Structure 1
Amino acid sequence: MLDLSAATPRDFPYERLGVRALELMLLIRGFESRIEGYAQQKLIRGSTHPAVGMEAVAVGVALALQSHDTIASTHRGHAHCLAKGADPGRLLAEIFGRQDGYSHGKGGSMHAGAADLGILGTNGIVGASIGIATGAALASVQMGQDSVSVAFFGDGAINQGIFHESLNLAAIWSLPVVYICENNQYAQSARLQDMVVNPDLAARGPAYGIASARVDGMDVTAVHQVAHAAVERARSGAGPSLIVADTYRFLGHMVGDTEIYRGGAEVSRWRERDPIPLLAAQLNERRLLTPVMQQAAEQATKERLDAAEQAALSSAPPPPASAYTDVYGPHGGM
């Protein structure tokens, strides 16, 4: 087995990235915690899927990337976008279906993209991110670039055919792509243990000769270390990697989920491993964060999200005449 974890750095760069990681996780937590209220106010049309509790995966991976690297996301993709640098006001405007959104209000929660930030889109099709990121990695090689592509997907998507097809192709061509499986223990309402015989999902990578690792997805420092190793491995030409991050969503699969498939005791156990207090404690232990500093960061996050909300609400819906714009790109011919 090609063990990716054996190549990870020994220490997380707390001084350089610790506070930044905390700020990003606070931003994502605050943003996602407001989604249910927006849905109840009918500001959001259609379904939306908060990632409260899963912030460490998005942030740990994003902090290992460079600005020209790309990500392909999922239906639960707001966290990935924010971690990659998306403006919360423009992202919220997109979720509200307003024309100042990243996709001019036409994509909504599950189809938001920002090409200038390397965000190839959130996606409502389970597993679609895997093929998109693999294609982006192939394009990087063909154009002589050194960018790395990341595919985020859930444990439910790992049983899709595109997972096996893409990993096989990426391995054959040594593509610069990192596959991140966010194993939040449920495929909507189906438990992982009921869907696979072997719950060690990282064991699937070596079958394709792909370096793989399983990591604690509630610890941003652990995620970052293994992601950094995978990204640098891809950028050096050593090929793809598979990372399975064990995490948990504190809220339902989507806004309005009855959650009859899991009990409160289970949720409480996972909440005890909340990634934000965990990182705060690590920073405090190293004297890089004080309670006053954390309080200031939380207040700054609230003010930023309040401003984002006002910006999104002040944006108008896209005019009906724009329905057919941004549908086709220019055709350069052969």
Structure 2
Amino acid sequence: MFKDQEVTYLKENIYDYLFHNVKDTTFGNYICIKPNAYKLDEDGFDYLLSFINKGDHAFLSLNYFSEHLSDTLQFTTTYLDEAIFSPEELKQLKGELYLENTSFKHQPFLYDRNIRRTYFDSYDENNTIVLGTIEIDGVKQPNFIKVYYGKGAIFLHSNPVVFTNYNMLNGNENYVENVLSYLPTEDILWDPQIKSSNYSNSNEEDQESIFKFFLQHPSLTWFLGVSFLGLTLFMLFNARRKQRAIPIIKPLQNSTIEFAQTISNLYLKEEDHKNLVDKKIAYFLEKIREKYLIDTNNLNTQFIENLALKSNNDIQGTRYLINTIIALNKKTECSKNELLILNKMIENFFKK
């Protein structure tokens, strides 16, 4: 989508990045899609707004918006499914989303799960326009708004789950394209929110708050002073003690390789290829259950399609592998060549 724009994947907090790399210039578009943006603290958000005020833009798609953010931009949010977390309950949350632009205003975008009923129930109509809605009990409620701020604007979206891989299937990728198309054609700062700020005053206040609490109470202040004094005395006296020699303990030898060689030689000598084929099939199915969370009790067409989709393998190759496994399972004896072919097919399958 942004092939003509430079996309910067932030590996540091947005506050630190702007402070060190942007300062008096502009950055273009800031995008953050997360369940929540708690690492975008008050100082970081205010600093970001100072750039938006000069003409930059930001896109925030979150399940939960901080109180500081909503107070600053003057909006309130309703969370109808705030207490729902279990997979079974989330699967029941179907959604019907709309975009207000006349080009696709009457086109619903349908989602079959995980769409929390979150919407903006109030906002400043003098600087805010509604760009998208979600249908709740037959009524369309705003879930995508644009808030003008100085020369720039900030876009707020309340359903970040629509940007996940699963929800960009069956034509719903058009919804994502249309939503992000509101951003101007400028460079992108993509923020995965992986680090807290090293320079924000908000973080410093949090770190100092414990000590401030201790110093506000005389008894806790004495406790803190005595603890530091005791720790200092312990370190001074302990440093004078002579440390006993540490005995050298040889590490245990790893006999795993020797054991594997012994077992492999045993099977090679016995030429029990069917036994090895059964073990390879059992190991393959166990890894499928563990890695892709697919039930392997019934190796039918639906199983093959799910496995090909989740493993990023083509459907024809996956079907050939599963049919080979079914055929070898029915045999009472297998040749060495069949064992080697099965092993090669399984190795190629997991290389994808």
TM-score by length of 2: 0.22
User: Which structure exhibits the higher relative contact order, with contacts defined as CA atoms closer than 8 Å and separated by 6 or more residues?
Assistant: 1
Q: Counting strand residues as a fraction of each chain, which structure ranks higher? A: 2
Q: Which has the larger radius of gyration?
A: 2
